[in-house]
Amino acid sequence: MMKIKWMAMALGLGLVATGAQGSALVTQGANELAISGMVDFQSDMGVELDLNVRYAYFLIDRVAIGTKVLMYNNDTYNHFGLGLTGEYNFKLPQQFKPLFGTDLVPFLGGAVDFRHTRIYGSKESAVVFGGEGGVKFFLTDTAAVTTSVLGELATEDIFADDGEATNLDLRLLVGMRFYF
């Protein structure tokens, strides 16, 4: 039930994205640094840490390729991953303007990475294929808040889901991206 609620919220944000222009610093030669994560000091599974960092370079306007590092840790489950990413940022019609901020940019991306995981006492390594779609809301021309839906498929059962290991994962992500 919770997954359906998050998916509905992400779909709503995606529909809102069609009503704004998008072009802020997603041009050839720009660099992007993406950071997202959380720390929960009193979760059911001890201290919980999730950190995702990504660096990308725009080869041509609106198309970026990059690398990412991910880390997750709690008492039951942890993983560390390194990977490659690619992303396309859409340009919307000029007549649409955001209510505040500079631009709203919808995007689609893909990734492949290698992860080493400890899940429920056993260790696994896997290749993970991911697809992501979302929206970047530019607060300024060099900083954006992002919301996206990320789906991942692994070659081994490396994700925790309701007390079981599985090879599929679906998440709603919120983060910050900086451009220079």
Set out the domains of the chain in order of their start, with CATH numbers.
2-179 (2.40.160.20)
Model confidence pLDDT, tens digit, residues 97-135:
666 667 888 999 999 999 999 988 889 999 999 999 999
pTM score: 0.77
Model confidence pLDDT, tens digit, residues 62-84:
999 999 999 999 877 889 999 99
pLDDT over 70 percentage in the chain = 82
CA-wise closest residue to 175 among 58, 65, 32: 32
